[in-house]
Amino acid sequence: MPSPKISGPSNATTILTVDLDALAANYRLLLQRAAPAQCAAVVKADGYGLGVGPVGRTLHAAGCTRFFVAHLDEAATLRKALGGAASTAEIAVLNGLMPGQEKVFRDHNLMPVLNDLGQVAQWSEECRANGAHPSILHLDTGMCRLGLPPEEQRTLFDDPQRLDGLSLTCIMSHLACADTPDHPLNRQQQVDFAAAIKRLPKVDTSLAASSGIFLGPDWHFDMVRPGVSLYGVAPTPGEPNPMAPVVKLSGKIIQIRHVDAPQTVGYGATHRFTGPTRVATVAAGYADGYLRSLSGRASASIGGITVPVVGRVSMDLITLDISNAPAAQPGDMIDLIGPHFDVDAAADAAGTIGYEILTSLGRRYQRHYVGGTA
């Protein structure tokens, strides 16, 4: 008799469900918003924590042919997930080109995003020695993080031969305040980028990520690069969210307590029950990415009833007051992130942004993919 599979879904106590059809729908919506610009996809950090393989294949099947990741190893993983060297999808590495990486870029058919004049020189030498291989040029217009700073851009305007033989497919920059539509830096960066690309070779240009798409057509240029909105997070905080929810997190109730006498729950005794209460313990905690700052601020949902998380979130467990959900039993699954409390609501409650909620989830949970091309 085969031994039961310990990691099988029936033994999972916490399940992250990823709706790949919703992901594909979000890609199509963003493509439509950005048209006639093209729409790339940013799938860094393992597809924002949701699994770069299924995420990448689903987006590719939805028509996306240009991908961005942060690290070279993420790019190699995505290349493999998309079918290896045979796949023609473009994969670009935002963190740029480090000395000695040239061959890896070439062997896996990956593109470096060239972030300074040193990288421009390094890639140009590589292309002279071993033949042209595509790359992207990144100009800094206000992030002061990656990309050619203004003085290096001026050097390039005066000496454009530095770009000869680089096989540039795109010139990009990145917005600092796109989630705050009336911030003056948005227009400033748009104007500075438009001026810079006039002085450089004519290739595709790209400025907007998720929030930038919703600033309007002036910010779209030839290609947009959304990440977080693909995964359902609101591109403009405080506005109605046009994106479909992609993730749901549910956890199993592993114990139920009946409390009669006044008593506290969890570390630090931060919550006190004053009357008769049913307490459910669920196997999810901060080690799973259910942030400790959600302590006493989150809610869950079971059978359509919303119940509060009470006391502190601990490493592997949370406790919920399920007094108003009398049907709940040990072994039942309870929704922790879902329509009642979505990624944006969790981010608000935890004092962070949807990006951090998403990328914190998913390392320890069992992931279930529904729809799409898993």
Ligand X SMILES: *Cc1c(COP(=O)(O)O)cnc(C)c1O
Identify the burial level of 262 via C-beta atoms within 10 angstroms of its C-beta, where 0-12 means exposed, 13-18 middle and 19 or more buried. Answer: exposed
Angle in degrees, 0-180, between the axes of helices 117-130 and 150-158, rounded to the nearest 10: 40
Does position 209 interact with ligand X (CB under 6 A)? The reply is: yes
In single-letter form, the type of residue at position 277 comes to: T
Nearest residue (CB) to ligand X, 172 versus 302: 172
Q: Which stretch binds ligand X (CB under 6 A): 22-30, 119-127, 221-229, 265-273?
A: 221-229
5 is catalytic: no
CA distance 90 to 79: 9
Candidates 15, 16, 34, 42; binder of ligand X (CB under 6 A) is: 42
Which residues ranging from 337 to 366 are in contact with ligand X (CB under 6 A)? none
Please identify, using beta-carbon distances, which residue of 210 and 323 lies nearer to ligand X. Answer: 210
Q: Which residues contact 164 (CB under 8 A, 6 or more apart)?
A: 124
Residue whose Cβ sits closest to ligand X: 227
30 binds ligand X (CB under 6 A): no
**Residue 253 near ligand X by CB under 6 A:** no
Size of the site for ligand X (CB under 6 A): 11
Beta strands in the chain (DSSP E): 14-19, 38-39, 41-42, 66-69, 90-93, 111-114, 135-138, 168-172, 204-206, 223-224, 247-259, 263-265, 271-273, 277-282, 299-302, 305-310, 318-321, 333-337, 366-370
CA distance 14 to 371: 20
Q: Kindly identify the residues of this chain, within the stretch 82-101, that bind ligand X according to CB under 6 A.
A: 94
Tell which one of 141, 190, 210, 295 touches ligand X (CB under 6 A): 210
Query: Catalytic: which of 103, 248, 267, 369?
Result: 267
- Residue 30 or 279 having the CB closest to ligand X: 30
Rounded to whole angstroms, the Cα distance separating 71 from 347 reads 25
Q: In the complex with ligand X, which residue's Cβ is closer, 79 or 174? A: 174
Residues annotated as catalytic (active site), given as ranges: 44, 267
Residue numbers at the binding site for ligand X (CB under 6 A): 42, 44, 94, 174, 209-210, 225-229
